[in-house]
Amino acid sequence: MTIDFSTIRQPLSPVEPGSVASMIASRSNDYRLPTASQAQLSVVVPIRNRAFVITHVLDALAASEGVELEVIVVDDASDDDGAFRAAAHSSRPTVIRLTEAVGSSVARNVGTVLASAPTVVYVDGDMILPPLTLHELAVRAADDLILLGFRQHVPAAALAAGPLMPTSIDLDQDPRVSTVFPSGVLPFSGTVLDSPQRCRLLDETDELRGLGHGRWVGDWSLPRTVITALVAMPREAVLDVGGFHPGFHGLWGAEDAYVGAKLVAAGCKVVPVRSAVGLHVDPPETQPENGRKQNSLPRTVAFYRSLLAQPMPVGGSTWLRAHVQAQLDQATVIRGDRALTRTTS
C-alpha cells in the first residue's frame, strides 16, 4: 500500500510560539535552483574507527571531477589508525585527531569551522563517491539551499574486489526514495498505522516541495530528510545556527535532522539531488552497531523533540567557534602540507 499524497498532514500537535518547530511551520519548501554554480567545496569527513575504508574514501574524493575541493578529515579519537592512514594519503587532506571521543556532531563542527569554501559537503567516513557526485552538488549550491545526496549499500567485503564504482544506481535503497513504514506507532511523528505502508517520499511530495510548513508524511518531515551521510550545506548558515548539537553523542539518527531543522527554521530550503549518489560501505560489525542504534532510539526521539520545542539558539556562530577552539586546543592537527600545528597535551 502506498501513502496517498493527499494524506500529508500538518504538525501532529500544537507548537510553542517562537520555538524551532513553530518557525519550521511557517516555512515553505518552494525552492529555486541557482543559475550560477560554485566551483569550490569543502568536504568534511568525520571518522570513528574507519581505518578499514578511509583510504578508499579519500581515493574516491581525489578522483572527483569538475570541482575544486579541500578535504578535512576529523578523527573522533578512534581506537584504530584511521587518522594516520588519512594523513598519509597522497591527496594531502587536513587531518584533525581529537583527544577524546565526543561524537560525530563535534567532529563535523570542527570541520565546519576550519572549512574555507562557501559550501560544506558532509561525507561519512564510509561513503565512497563516484567521480561526478560532488560536481552534481556544486552546480546546485547556494547560500540558502541544503542539497541532499543519496546512498546505496555495499558490504565491506566488496572492498577486496577492487575500486567500488556503481554500474547501476538503485536509489530505492535510500529510505527517502522508497521505504515501508511498519504498522504501529511511528517514533518521530507519532502516526499510528494499522498496516505496513509503502512511501515514495520524493515522488509523493514533488521532490520535497510539498513537505514544507511542518508537514509530515508517515515518519518523514522536512528536517528528517537531512542525513549527513552525503549532504551539502551553506557554511555561513551552519555557523549562524550553531552547527551540530553535541548532546546527541551516544544517541542515533537525529543530530543531522536537528541541524536541518534549525536551517529550515532560518529560511533554508531542502533540495534532493537524485544524481548525487554514494556507496555506503557497511562495516563488518553492522549488526551489533544497528542494535545499539535501535536501543538508543527512544532517547534520541525525546531529545530531538525537546530541542524543537525550544527557541532558536542565539549567538550560534560565537558559541560554535569557541566550542571548536576548545577541541583544537587539545587536538593533533596535521595540515595538508604535513605541518603539525598543534600537539596533544
232-250 confidence digits (pLDDT tens): 999 999 999 999 999 999 8
Whole-angstrom distance, CA of residue 28 vs CA of residue 270: 10
Strand partners, 148: 231, 272
- pLDDT tens per residue, range 115-142: 999 999 999 999 999 999 999 999 999 9
- pLDDT tens per residue, range 261-306: 999 999 999 999 999 999 999 887 765 566 666 788 999 999 999 9
Q: Which three cell numbers stand for residue 286?
A: 553492522
User: Which structural domain, as residue segments, surrounds residue 236?
Assistant: 15-163+226-338
Q: Which CATH number belongs to the domain containing residue 322 in this structure?
A: 3.90.550.10
Query: Is 336 a residue whose pLDDT tops 80?
Result: no
User: Does residue 175 fall inside a structural domain?
Assistant: no
What pLDDT, on a 0 to 100 scale, did the predictor assign at position 14? 61
What are the angstrom distances between the C-alpha of 91 and each of 3, 33, 141, 280?
46, 31, 24, 21
Query: Is 90 a residue whose pLDDT tops 90?
Result: yes
User: Does residue 134 fall inside a structural domain?
Assistant: yes
User: Does residue 193 fall inside a structural domain?
Assistant: no
- Total domain count, the chain: 1
Angle at 256 between CA 17 and CA 121, to 5 degrees: 125
User: Does residue 214 fall inside a structural domain?
Assistant: no
User: Does residue 218 fall inside a structural domain?
Assistant: no
User: Does residue 256 fall inside a structural domain?
Assistant: yes
